[in-house]
Amino acid sequence: MRWEPKESVAIVTGASSGIGRCLCRRLLRSGASVVANARREERLLELQDSADNASADNAEQRFFPVVGDVTDPTVRQEIIRVAGSIRSGELDLLVNNAGIGALGPFADAEPSRLRRIMEVNFFAPVELTRLALDLLRRGRAPVICNLCSVLGHRAVPDKSEYCASKFAMHGFSDSLRAELAPTGIQVTLVSPSTTESEFFDSLIDTDAGQTSKSIGSWPADRVAKATMSAIRARRSEVICSLGGKALVYADRLSPPIVNAVLKKS
């Protein structure tokens, strides 16, 4: 059974920019009602103002912004409250997209960097998922979509905290998928490579001189399109970009070779 966006109810976190923003627009154009969460109120209002140009009837009336940090339990509760009020306590899609990162050697970092990244990238989406399960069980072909990263499959230097958070999300998604299989709730893991978005403008505890080398970057809307396709097909996992696939499959075939390539001189 495929997931259909028309008349569905969806939650998207990290909706103010990048992949989350593009996903919201695609969902609205397809006839979904979208509960969009982000910290930046002005960005959500811009998205709301543009919703009536989404090439779908009543798109503006189907957009429900929730402003706040997803790591705040009261914000998570408000997201669920709003979603539950749209269609008799039913939820069809939860997209855990909000995320942050950092660059730099682990040995030079303060412990707070790891804790902040884990709070945003792992603990917050896990707890939001916990709250959403009752609504999802009542949904139509429900899907939990976790935006992960190819760095949740293969870690690289100077991104230890970010990699750890994405490995945690990868493991959580695999386990939850097996647990929820009898309920009909699908867990979809989407792993982009570097995405052309504002992600690198909001790195935390990172020196200005730090740079990130990567290949295979995609525009945010291309990732959003691939994500929508994976959700519709209720796929278990999708890895985006040839560069991302090359890194993941090379590591599966010969970890020692990839270790040697990535080793810092």
CATH of the domain at 175: 3.40.50.720
For 87, the token pair is 């269609």
Query: Residue 213 has which token pair?
Result: 């080398």
Low-confidence ranges of the chain (pLDDT < 70): 51-56, 196-202, 204-216, 265
**Nearest by Cα to 22 from 212, 193, 197:** 197
Domain that holds residue 242: 9-262
CA R_g for the chain? 18
Rounded CA-CA distance 163/149 in Å is 8
3 is a domain residue: no
Q: What's the pLDDT at 196? A: 63
- What pLDDT, on the 0 to 100 scale, is given for residue 192? 94
- pLDDT at position 56, please? 65
**Residue 78 domain-assigned (yes or no):** yes
For 31, 104, 220, the CA distances from 50, given in Å and listed in that order, are 15, 37, 18
- Indicate the number of domains in the chain: 1
Read off the DSSP letter of residue 48. H
For the stretch 151-197, pLDDT in tens is 999 999 999 999 999 999 999 999 999 999 999 999 999 999 877 65
- Is residue 13 situated within a structural domain? yes
- The reply to whether 1 falls in a domain is no
Q: What's the mean per-residue pLDDT of the chain?
A: 91
Helix ranges (H only) for the chain are 18-29, 41-50, 73-84, 111-118, 124-137, 160-180, 220-233, 242-253, 255-262
Single-letter amino acid code for the residue at 207: D
SS3 191: strand
Catalytic residue numbers, as ranges: 162
Q: Is residue 2 part of a domain?
A: no
d(CA 219, CA 164): 24
**Both structure tokens of 10:** 């969806």
What pTM, to 2 d.p., does this model score? 0.92
In a domain, 233, yes or no: yes
Residue 4 located in a structural domain: no
Q: Please say whether the beta carbons of 53 and 252 come within 8 A.
A: no
pLDDT in tens, 231-257: 999 999 999 988 888 898 998 999 999
What are the φ and ψ backbone dihedral angles of 218, each rounded to 5 degrees? -120, 150
User: What is the structure's pLDDT at 198?
Assistant: 47
Q: How far apart are CA 164 and CA 39, in angstroms?
A: 24
Report if residue 102 sits inside a domain: yes
Cβ atoms of 156 and 259 closer than 8 Å: no
Q: How many residues does the chain have?
A: 265
